């Protein structure tokens, strides 16, 4: 028997309330650039290359000077020897940390006259009504303000319901907010680790990231003479 104002709970309950489960939040390391340095006051183009294929393809280029890094998210920042361009490469990071990474790169993103991002994704994630019988598909996504950079490449716009996320998407959103031009080229690849996308290599050449594409080394195990 219970008195007035008392709450009696049954000894057993078949339903759990929200507070019954203690959610354990995953701990992420605090991110910071390795070197403390002032960003340049003028940048012609800030280029973001996101994905394992692009990361491995660019990392050891002699035409680039290493500027800074965020090792926890596999991010490296380079300065081009050929032009007043900066190149950011990143791979295998947790999307939860995208906003934090964009914030650390904010001065580079906002300062640049143009921002161009290239993003690789598995072809199975490309959603269209018709069957895709190709090894890769390249689509573009632009800010309202069009880029003035002539990269000689016109690709169809990314169709709905396809979406992008991560650092490249965050940079595009930031450029839209500050009313500056940016473009993302999304390359859906059948085998992201296989270095046979010559159109993508040619695009990196046009951006002056990797010159002499036809003489580039291909280190992928899929292109080696090793058989199992």
Q: Tell which residue, 63, 49, 25, has the closest CA to residue 119.
A: 49
pTM: 0.79
The per-residue pLDDT for 202 is 78
What tens digit of pLDDT does each residue of 21-38 get?
555 566 777 899 999 988
By the 8 A CB rule, do 66 and 78 touch? yes
Rounded Cα distance between 159 and 129, Å, is 10
The C-alpha angle 75, 41, 66, rounded to 5 degrees, equals 30
Q: Tokens 């300062």 — which residue? A: 111
Q: Are strands 85-90 and 75-80 parallel, antiparallel or unpaired?
A: antiparallel
- What is the CB neighbour count within 10 angstroms for residue 68? 20
Residues sharing a CB contact under 8 Å with residue 58, sequence separation 6 or more, in sequence order:
49, 64, 78, 87, 89, 204, 209, 210
Phi then psi dihedrals of residue 185, to 5 deg: -105, 115
Mean pLDDT (the chain) is 80
Domain over 39-209 is classified CATH 3.40.50.2300: no
Domain boundaries, the chain: 39-209
What tens digit of pLDDT does each residue of 88-125 get?
999 999 999 999 999 999 999 999 999 999 999 988 89
């Amino acid at each position: 028997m219970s008195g007035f104002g008392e709450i009696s709970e049954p000894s057993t309950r078949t339903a759990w309330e929200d507070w019954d489960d203690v959610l354990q939040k995953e701990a992420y390391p605090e991110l910071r650039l390795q070197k403390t340095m002032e960003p340049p006051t003028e940048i012609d183009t800030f280029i973001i290359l996101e994905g394992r294929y692009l990361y491995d393809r660019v990392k050891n280029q002699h035409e680039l000077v290493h500027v800074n890094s965020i090792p926890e998210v596999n991010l490296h920042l380079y300065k081009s020897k050929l032009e007043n361009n900066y190149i950011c490469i990143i791979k295998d990071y947790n999307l939860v940390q995208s906003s934090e990474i964009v914030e650390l790169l904010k001065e580079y993103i906002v300062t640049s006259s143009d921002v161009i991002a290239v993003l690789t994704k598995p072809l199975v994630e490309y959603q269209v009504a018709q069957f895709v019988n190709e090894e890769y598909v390249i689509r573009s996504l632009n800010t309202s303000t069009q880029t003035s950079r002539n990269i000689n490449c016109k690709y169809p716009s990314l169709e709905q319901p396809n979406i992008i996320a991560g650092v490249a998407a965050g940079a595009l959103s930031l450029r839209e907010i500050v009313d500056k031009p940016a473009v993302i080229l999304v390359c859906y690849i059948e085998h992201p680790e296989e270095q046979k996308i010559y159109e993508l290599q040619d695009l990196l050449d046009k951006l002056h990231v990797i010159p002499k594409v036809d003489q580039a080394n291909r280190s992928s195990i899929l292109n080696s003479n090793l058989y199992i």
